Amino acid sequence: MFTGIVTDIGEVIAVRPRAQGLLHRMKIACSYDRATIVDGASIACAGVCLTVVGAGEEDGRTWFAVDAAAETLASTNVGQWRHGTRINLERPLKIGDELGGHIVTGHVDGLADVIAREELPDTARFALRAPPTLARFVAQKGSVTLDGVSLTVNEVEGDTFSVLIIPHTLQVTTLGDLSVGDRVHLEIDMMARYAARLAETR
């Protein structure tokens, strides 16, 4: 379980396709303490919960390895990651930690398309298009996770929605790198999912 508060930006330093392209093993460099990363641990990588299968140090940097299986490759853009790709990282929530964002599972629901970016005096406004099957879960003033970042929805119209991002978030996450045409991992709010499910069963 995560909160959508990014704690580091990692860099992909190796990608090795395995099992006829159905499994990718990646090494990701980070600034986390090597001693705190153990095999079997979960780390949210651009909002995708992946399991650590190895870790070490190289050229003075900590790295950890993860495997992305067929389902992950099919439903995310992880398969497009290459050497040098920057990704938002978050360690799992611990009992007693501050819940600064919202409850995030790390299970990406789909890909949202960036359709506009507007630079405002104190923020940047992004407009995105959600997949039709997910658009109904996005609500004004509700929460979404984009590439692992917890954000509040500003406006909603049909299958499009907008978010306002402060300069700090643009600097400490990869959202500042986004431009029109990019696709980002979208995780809808778990409470919205269950509310819709309950409504369906009545």
- Tell me the per-residue pLDDT of 98-131, one tens digit each, with 9 for 90 and over: 777 788 899 999 999 999 999 998 899 999 999 9
Q: What is the mean pLDDT of each run of 10 residues along the chain (202 residues)?
A: 94 85 88 96 97 94 94 92 97 79 89 97 95 93 96 96 96 96 94 69 64
76 is catalytic: no
42 is catalytic: yes
Helix or strand or coil: residue 150? strand
Name the catalytic one among 19, 51, 74, 196: 51
**3-state DSSP helix/strand/coil % of the chain, to nearest 5:** 20, 45, 35
44 is catalytic: no
The answer on 195 and 114 residing in a single domain is yes
Name the catalytic one among 31, 36, 74, 107: 107
Q: If we measure between CA atoms, which residue out of 192, 190, 193, 198 comes closest to residue 2?
A: 190
Name the catalytic one among 19, 31, 69, 83: 69
64 is catalytic: no
Residue 101 lies in a domain: no
Residue 2 lies in a domain: no
152 is catalytic: yes
In whole angstroms, give the CA distance from residue 114 to residue 186: 11
Q: If we measure between CA atoms, which residue out of 130, 137, 41 comes closest to residue 94?
A: 41
Q: If we measure between CA atoms, which residue out of 91, 114, 107 comes closest to residue 8?
A: 91
51 is catalytic: yes
DSSP label at 93?
A: P
The answer on 166 and 121 residing in a single domain is yes
> Measuring CA to CA, how many Å separate 198 from each of 47, 95, 102?
26, 28, 21
Name the catalytic one among 7, 14, 41, 42: 42
107 is catalytic: yes
Domain that holds residue 150: 110-201
In whole angstroms, give the CA distance from residue 3 to residue 150: 7
CATH of the domain at 41: 2.40.30.20
The answer on 42 and 118 residing in a single domain is no
Residue 97 lies in a domain: no
In this prediction the pTM is: 0.92
Name the catalytic one among 2, 64, 137, 161: 2
The answer on 70 and 25 residing in a single domain is yes
Asked if 175 and 181 touch (Cβ cutoff 8 Å), the reply is: no
Q: If we measure between CA atoms, which residue out of 117, 145, 150, 111 comes closest to residue 129?
A: 111
The answer on 57 and 121 residing in a single domain is no
Per the structure, how many domains does the chain have? 2
In whole angstroms, give the CA distance from residue 66 to residue 45: 10
Q: What is the per-residue pLDDT for 56?
A: 96
Name the catalytic one among 49, 55, 68, 127: 49
